[in-house]
Structure 1
Amino acid sequence: MDATASISSSLPVSAELGERLGWLIRLRWLAVAGVALFVEVARRVFPVHLPMWRLYLTFAALALSNGLYWLWLRRLHAGKAHREWPWTRPLVRFLLPSSPGGAGDVGSAGPAVLFANLQVAIDLMLLAVLLHFSGGVENPFLYFFIFHVIIASILFSRPATFVHASWSVALIAAVATSEGLGLVRHWPLGGAWTPTAYRDPAVVSAQLLVFATTLYLSAYIGSTIADRLRRREGEVVVLSLEVSRKAETLAAALERVSQAERAKSQYLRKVAHELRGPLGTMRTTMSALLAGVAGELPRPAVGLIRRIEARTGDLAQVTADLLTLARAREGRLAVELAPVDLAAMVREAAEDARPAADRAGVTLNVRITGETATIVGDAAALRELAGNLVGNAIRYTPRGGNVEVRLERRGGAIELEVEDTGIGIPAADLGRVFEEFYRSSNARSHSSEGTGLGLAIVKAAAEQHGGRVEVRSAPGQGTCFVVTLPAEPVTA
């Protein structure tokens, strides 16, 4: 189903008409009271003689009809007036304004749109009766018919609006003609009009021509504006439906990606657990052999066992990193949250890495500024984060280089920066450094150590704490990793 086909369900025509019918009924109550008050004032202020009982009888008819409209509208809202006659469908389609989704819910809108047209038609007829009893075409309020034409342009289709305009012209023409021919009594207003002006065909024709032109122009302008507004409204609904559908599709895709990530993490954790036991046994056995438990070994065998032990140690480190990464990816930090003093943790990570820095001939500096940085988080994961960044910086910095660790609170965030003067990262590799098992080309040639999981662990740990990791680097110019974490206040 495309978006426009859903318009009828998003903007039900019957519901929209029901709201506007309520507005029209409230407006009619105000009109009855306002016109009655004006007539009372006019007959006392102006030198006119009006058939008051006839006017008030018309007001009563208008008020009575409005009361019936209100009762019927209550039935419509209660769902008791939705009966549809098949023979009215063509008429309903003619009366309903066009919509981007086509006819929409024509069946449910049928009673409402027929009822609305009946109201406007009866209003125009009663307005013509009021004008007949108050001067006919002499009455300057003749142009109040325009209001109903504008209302029709809002509620109905353009052809239906012109039908109501034609009905208005026909009613006024009937009043003017019947009065001019003496078929009904003329109730003059006096003033600028001569006593026989209502019988002058030229005067009446000119008045009717101006009236009809004004009404048809109003119908055209009103219906044009209403059509444009409906089209704009339809376009907005189509766009909102498209955005909603795209959002649902994106949410479903993100859920599938999340499920795939969870499945991958669970698989990694399972593999790591399965490997950890045998690897531990192998390392213990080789240590025992090298210690002479099984007797003295030939020199070539000792060399081979030491190489096996080293490679087994590398593999054990990979399994440990896999477990750490899986633990962070699965979101298992939530059960281990506690206040963490980042300043103390960063100093500890730096001190743990200092022997490696001394062996590599790298100067390691720590600079912590501002207030003590304490957040609520997983201490083990944050230690892994800091340790991996500092360890990587030392590993890939040549002898004589520098590694600087900076911790600073900036507003509502805490920034941990680890910057080195090392080999840097090629631009082509920057986008992939946080992938599992990925090592840049110059990193592999510089050092055989490393599992390719350290930065993936850093990124996962930062994201689990609501933070992010950024990297700036260029080959031969060093690297700077910036971890931004939200500063959560610790309450007692």
Structure 2
Amino acid sequence: MFKKKRLAVAIIVFWILLAYIVAELAWWFIALEIQNRQMTTYRIMLLRPEDPGYNTRLEAIHKDEMKKTAEFIGEGSIFLLLILVGAIFVYREVRRQIRLQLQQQNFMMAVTHELKTPIAVTKLNLETLLKHRLDEQKQQKMIQAALQETNRLDHLATNILVASQLEGEYVQSKESLDLSDLATHLMQDYLHRFPERHWEQHIEPGCTLLGDAVLLQMLVNNLVENALKYSPREGTITVSLGRKGRAISLCVADQGQGIPDEEKKKIFGKFYRAGQETTRRTKGTGLGLYLCRKIAEDHHATLKVTDNSPVGSIFTVTFTA
């Protein structure tokens, strides 16, 4: 709340200063124009009507007055344009920095939550296993839950590490790989970890391309994890992979609430998550889809999101040969 008040005060001060500068510029023009007219009046008073060149000199004085007025208007317009352009640039940059700061703040809140929750769950499960003699079925259930939370931690740490590396000097090891095999193995893992969810997969064999196996695995994982987060438990998650001419298309469809049109371009931004971190219920850090976009760009692919029918979203990655 305090930061919002400071931001509001800063914006008000900015517009007041801008209005003051524009007012000073207008006053400068008015003062120069008054001075110009006074000089013109004074020069005309010095003329003698009986002088044979009176009309010519009078006309020259008026032309000189108009010339100076045009100069004042031209200089004032240039100054005003520069001031407005500079003000717009500063305002947009400040707003961008403020948005980035808020997104980073939300990111830190999300990371804190994402770290504490799996650690607390895993710790509780392990302490329960140590203190109590449980039957085999309950032991396996608690161990499976601890493993899932550990996988969440690993997924989070990997996302943060790769996001940092992709903006630095990450050295890709691109090679010819079978995307069909990679997607099939990942889907088998999800079927094993989340047997209660509804899955559909249509993976065409033999979809080979040149790419980084680690990054492409992360791309598929992040898209599927995103579908898991935003789909209801009774909803179906569909993963499709196939060729369309020389292109390879990977589609992950969910049956969640969908994404508003105004949010479709924003969701691929770094740290961006719709809503406020304090009221948002879904897990995440705002890095998953950002990494998907970066990985797709690094593999000369396009990533887009469209509406699913009747509800939900479809994320499509298209690799071109």
* TM tier relative to shorter chain: 0.5 to 0.7
Shift, 1:104, TM fit: 10
Could you tell me which residue of structure 2 aligns to residue 386 of structure 1? Answer: 220
| Whole-angstrom distance in 2 between the partners of 1:406 and 1:452 | 33
| Whole-angstrom distance in 2 between the partners of 1:272 and 1:421 | 24
| Whole-angstrom distance in 1 between the partners of 2:50 and 2:206 | 92
Shift, 1:238, TM fit: 2.1
Q: How many residues align?
A: 279
Question: For residues 271-315 of structure 1, what are the alpha-carbon distances to aligned partners after superposition, in whole Å with 9 as ceiling and x for unaligned?
Answer: 5555555555555567x77xxx986x45xxx55555544544454
Task: Give, as a single letter, the amino acid of the residue that structure 1 aligns with 2:304.
Answer: E
Tell me the TM-score normalized by structure 2.
Answer: 0.58
* Greater length-normalized contact order (CA 8 Å, ≥ 6 residues apart): 2
Matched, 1:240 2:82: yes
Could you say if the C-alpha distance between residues 332 and 311 of structure 1 is closer, same or farther in structure 2, counting changes exceeding 3 Å? Answer: same
Gaps of 5+ in 2: 1-15, 276-281
Q: Which protein has the larger Cα radius of gyration, Structure 1 or Structure 2?
A: 1
Tell me the TM-score normalized by structure 1.
Answer: 0.42
| Whole-angstrom distance in 2 between the partners of 1:259 and 1:392 | 24
Is the 8 Å Cα contact of residues 272 and 323 (structure 1) preserved in structure 2?
no
Question: For residues 366-406 of structure 1, what are the alpha-carbon distances to aligned partners after superposition, in whole Å with 9 as ceiling and x for unaligned?
Answer: 6868xx6558xxx755532232225667997859x761256
Could you tell me which residue of structure 1 aligns to residue 201 of structure 2? Answer: 362
Shift, 1:337, TM fit: 0.2
Which structure 2 residues correspond to residues 132-171 of structure 1 after superposition, within 5 A? 157-164=36-43, 167=46, 169-170=47-48
| Whole-angstrom distance in 2 between the partners of 1:222 and 1:423 | 75
Task: Give, as a single letter, the amino acid of the residue that structure 2 aligns with 1:100.
Answer: A
Shift, 1:416, TM fit: 7.7
| Whole-angstrom distance in 2 between the partners of 1:466 and 1:171 | 83
Shift, 1:160, TM fit: 1.6
Could you say if the C-alpha distance between residues 352 and 280 of structure 1 is closer, same or farther in structure 2, counting changes exceeding 3 Å? Answer: same
Which structure 2 residues correspond to residues 215-364 of structure 1 after superposition, within 5 A? 215-270=57-112, 272-273=114-115, 279-282=121-124, 297=134, 304-327=138-161, 331-334=164-167, 337-341=170-174, 344=177, 346-347=179-180, 349-355=182-188, 360=199, 362-364=201-203
Matched, 1:453 2:284: yes
Shift, 1:473, TM fit: 1.5
The structure that is strand-richer by fraction is 2
Is the 8 Å Cα contact of residues 389 and 481 (structure 1) preserved in structure 2?
yes
Which structure 2 residues correspond to residues 87-126 of structure 1 after superposition, within 5 A? 100-102=26-28
The percent identity for this pair of structures is: 12
Could you say if the C-alpha distance between residues 252 and 361 of structure 1 is closer, same or farther in structure 2, counting changes exceeding 3 Å? Answer: closer
Could you say if the C-alpha distance between residues 325 and 226 of structure 1 is closer, same or farther in structure 2, counting changes exceeding 3 Å? Answer: farther
Could you tell me which residue of structure 1 aligns to residue 304 of structure 2? Answer: 470
| Whole-angstrom distance in 2 between the partners of 1:473 and 1:303 | 41
Could you tell me which residue of structure 1 aligns to residue 251 of structure 2? Answer: 419
| Whole-angstrom distance in 2 between the partners of 1:224 and 1:260 | 53
Could you tell me which residue of structure 1 aligns to residue 5 of structure 2? Answer: none
| RMSD over aligned Cα atoms | 5.3
Gaps of 5+ in 1: 10-98, 107-152, 174-207, 410-414, 439-450, 486-492
Question: For residues 84-115 of structure 1, what are the alpha-carbon distances to aligned partners after superposition, in whole Å with 9 as ceiling and x for unaligned?
Answer: xxxxxxxxxxxxxxx62427999xxxxxxxxx
